[in-house]
Structure 1
Amino acid sequence: MRVLIETQLDVEGNRGLRRGNFDIKNSEFKKDPDWYISILAYEWIQKQISEYDGRKTEIVKVTWNEENDITEIVKQIRPIEPIDDLPF
């Protein structure tokens, strides 16, 4: 299955729109579609942000298949930090 993810980002006052088609795993999608697509969108947005060389970037809107707004879910996703419990 394929989904269309659309992102609207504000980069230091300039808004940009990007669209991308992504292949997804049906098994993961069926469990919780919005969460699964939000993770894909978050990863894609991180790649976009890296292109802006550290400029202040804000997520304005994220949708999938043009009708499912997942903006708030994507904004809540944070990377998992590794546990720093090494003895040295």
Structure 2
Amino acid sequence: MKVVIETQLDVEGNRGLRRGEFYIKDSEFKKDADWFISIKAYEWIQQQIAEYGGRKTEIVKVTWNEEHDITEIVKQVRPIEPMDDLPF
């Protein structure tokens, strides 16, 4: 399924708005649409932060298809840390 994600970010006092189209697997969409779209939005925001050179960035608002506000869910998404099972 194709969704339109809109992000509003505050980069050191300057607000910016971006929209992008993304594809979400139907099986993921049926399980928990907001969660899987939030993961995609989080990944996209990380790319935007990299473009800004790592400057202090705050997520102001994130929506999908202009009517579903997922801001708080996106703020809860965290990358999966690799297990620290090295022998040394």
| Pairing of 1:1-88 with structure 2 (within 5 A) | 1-88=1-88
CA distance in 1, matches of 2:52, 2:33: 29
Shift of 1:85: 1.8
CA distance in 2, matches of 1:44, 1:29: 18
Residue by residue, what CA displacement relative to the aligned partner does 1:46-79 show, whole Å, maximum 9, x if unpaired? 0000111121000000000000000000001111
TM-score (norm 1): 0.97
Task: Return 5+ residue gaps in structure 2 as ranges.
Answer: none
> Once superposed, which parts of structure 1, at least 4 consecutive aligned residues long, lie more than 4 Å away?
none
DSSP-derived class of the 1:84 partner: coil
CA distance in 2, matches of 1:24, 1:76: 19
CA distance in 2, matches of 1:82, 1:61: 29
Task: Return 5+ residue gaps in structure 1 as ranges.
Answer: none
CA distance in 1, matches of 2:73, 2:46: 15
RMSD: 0.7
CA distance in 1, matches of 2:53, 2:83: 27
TM-score (norm 2): 0.97
CA distance in 2, matches of 1:39, 1:54: 20
